[in-house]
Chain A
Amino acid sequence: MAVLKVTFTKTNRDKLAQVLWVLNWVSVVTGVTLFSLGLFLKVEIVKRRELMSKEIVSVPNMLICVGLTACAINFLGGKICYDCVDTTKFLRWKLLMLPYIICTFFFTFCILVGALMCYSMRNDLEESLFLGLRDAMRYYKDTDMPGRCYIKRTMDMLQMQFQCCGNGGYRDWFHIQWISNRYLDMTDSEVVERLRSNVEGKYLIDGVPFSCCGLHSLRPCIQHQITNNSAHYNYDYRKEELNLNRRGCRQALLEHYTQIMQSIGLIVLIIWLFEVSVLTGVRYLQTAMENVLRLGDPDSESDGWLLENSIADTARYNFNIIKNLGKCYQVDDDPNIDVPSSSLQAQENVPVKQIPVAR
């Protein structure tokens, strides 16, 4: 008994073919959309490559590939559906249709995987951003070293654009030497004292770069001696909230990328639903056209279904096929082949007859 059987008259079949032809062209457009979404995500990730320890390439590449494949598959589908209106033209595609439907089924599964990957990228990204930002802050002062000379500028622009400071917060800058030795007067007692005060000989201060300054602050920015209340008039660092950017840059970038990916994931899910519906329509059209050919009369009614037998039967049938693929050379079932008996008793019971010699 067939799964979800529907009866199609000739006009129903024709209308279904025309509608599917239009829908396939719409799917080509959605395929282009998928491709451009993947490209957009790739560009966004490459823009901030310096701040990530390892670039996340899987998700955008997946979306780009799936988008291009969608265009190709739906282009072919459009051609097939256009020809399905005429039973003679359908004969051309008859043998190709079932493999096409199976391929499209796996392909829509890939779209779903792509959508789910968008939502799961977050953890990888957080780890990558944590390490990337930590390194960027460490190399902030190295503006004279080739390969690292632009990190200061990148970090400053990031902190100003996203209104964030440091990795997790502004205190991260207190643990790093972000002022290069070229600009430190080593004869000054204060500098020497600071360098001696820690094991690694780093010049650490309770100050942050200018790019951490908050735009909403009511007073001019206090970037140095942040934790020293007596250094500034009318200032209490525990109560001061607007002076510096409070958010950490890791958090800010994570939110930015999560927002992009959630939107992309949602669009890809909608495209997936659309593709599944087109695939269902094409399957119905294929089975209806095949039944029409079986009945012989191109104008008669025919049935269309998703599966000819129930799901369990179809699964068993396909499983048997796969099992028997490995048994090409087995001959147990063929009665015409003479199989020598392996029983010793049978051999003994057969009397050995001597052939009489003619005299």
Chain B
Amino acid sequence: MVLLKMKFPFQKRVRLAQGLWLLSWVAMFSGAITFAMGVFLKTELHRRSEVMHSMDIHIVPNLLMAVGLASVGINICAGKVCQDSLDPSRFPRWKTFLPPFFCFSVFLTSLLLVAMILSFALQPSLEESLKIGLKNGISFYKDTDTPGRCFQKETIDRLQIEFQCCGNTNYRDWFEVQWISNRYLDFTSKEVKDRVRSNVDGRYLLDGVPFSCCNPASPRPCIQYSLRDNSVHYNYEYQTEELNLYSRGCRQALVSYYMGLMNTIGPCVLFDFLLQMAILVSLRYLQTAMEGVIGQENVEIETEGYILEKGVKETLLETKEKVKRLLQLAQVGDASSTTPGTQPEEEKPATA
């Protein structure tokens, strides 16, 4: 029982081949765009890799790049097949090549859908990775003299200014970390000694934030220190003050940014996927229609095209048998090469 049979007169075949050839050029262009979008996403993720703890999310741009490149190759092949299908003498050379080509192409194209699903599924992983990365960045903010950590201060400052955010979840994260190095603290001063003694780990904690948390849109000059103490600043109430510092946390800012990027890329990838599947289906119809023409004298007869010769279950069983036979042949081949003595025994009964 044939799957999705369609009749193809000669003119329809020719038009199918020509239309498919044009479409393969469009799909090649679309594949190149998918590749470019993968490259762009990867560079954006790489730029902020210092505040990311794990690289799990990189699988999305990697998939996009691989499939984009592969689809360029697939569409070049499809174009060539279309060109040859208009000439029945040149079409037969594609006969053995096309079935594995279809399996391979369908697999690669479905990877696009996988990439799209992963971009949503990996959001929690991205958030967790940013949480740990930012936590480390804020902890190492003061270590500008430790090799390997000396750029954390500049990285975090630039990040907070560029994304207009402060701290991990919000600005209070800075109250729990010592972000002023001991090199710049006068340990003979009473205030410093009080603060250091006030907590178990002996850290200098204060209710202040770095300058990069300051919001330029605030109408008053920035208040960075003694944020919780209303009496230190004139006409200031920290409970109602909203514009002084950035209210958003950097983790949320970065997650929104990357999700926004992926939501923009999503429709383009979906379009590429649909286009590619349409091309593969049409190419399959063209191949099966042309197979009816091979060997015939009159090339202008009407033929049938289908997706699968037998039903889905039967085709799967057949392919399983074929693969098993291939494996067996390989095994027998191995067996016969290791035990050459058995062969003359087989021949003897035949001659006798």
Residue in chain A with minimal CB distance to B183 = A234
Q: How large is the interface on B (under 10, 10 to 19, 20 to 34, 35 or more residues)?
A: 20 to 34
Does any Cβ of A come within 8 Å of B161's Cβ?
yes
Could you list 26 examples of A-B contacts with CB < 8 Å? Answer: A143-B220, A144-B219, A152-B216, A153-B216, A178-B221, A179-B221, A182-B235, A184-B234, A185-B234, A188-B234, A209-B222, A210-B214, A210-B221, A211-B216, A218-B153, A219-B183, A220-B210, A220-B211, A221-B210, A223-B211, A233-B184, A233-B185, A233-B186, A234-B184, A234-B186, A235-B184
User: How many whole Å from B111's CB to the nearest CB in chain A?
Assistant: 40
A213 to B221, CA, bound (A): 13
Residue in chain A with minimal CB distance to B181 = A219
Residue in chain A with minimal CB distance to B154 = A215
Residue in chain A with minimal CB distance to B220 = A183
Interface residues of B (CB under 8 A from A): 144-145, 153-154, 157-158, 161, 179-181, 183-186, 189, 210-212, 214, 216-217, 219-222, 224, 233-236
A188 to B221, CA, bound (A): 18
User: How many whole Å from B154's CB to the nearest CB in chain A?
Assistant: 5
User: How many whole Å from A240's CB to the nearest CB in chain B?
Assistant: 12
Residue from the set B161, B184, B220, B221 with the largest chain A CB neighbour count within 10 Å: B221
Determine whether the beta carbon of B234 is less than 8 Å from that of A183: yes
A180 to B218, CA, bound (A): 13
Does any Cβ of B come within 8 Å of A117's Cβ?
no
Determine whether the beta carbon of B211 is less than 8 Å from that of A180: no
B220 contacts across to A, CB distance below 8 A: 143, 179-180, 182-183
Q: Dominant SS at the B interface?
A: loop
B236 contacts across to A, CB distance below 8 A: 183
A213 to B211, CA, bound (A): 7
Q: Beyond A149-B219, A209-B221, A213-B212: 7 further Cβ-contacts under 8 Å?
A: A152-B219, A153-B217, A157-B216, A182-B235, A183-B236, A221-B211, A235-B184
Does any Cβ of B come within 8 Å of A116's Cβ?
no
Interface residues of A (CB under 8 A from B): 143-144, 149, 152-153, 156-157, 160, 178-180, 182-185, 188, 209-211, 213, 215-216, 218-221, 223, 232-235
A346 to B224, CA, bound (A): 110
Residue in chain A with minimal CB distance to B219 = A143
Residue from the set A160, A210, A235 with the largest chain B CB neighbour count within 10 Å: A210
B154 contacts across to A, CB distance below 8 A: 215-216
Determine whether the beta carbon of A210 is less than 8 Å from that of B222: yes
A167 to B234, CA, bound (A): 29
Determine whether the beta carbon of B221 is less than 8 Å from that of A183: yes
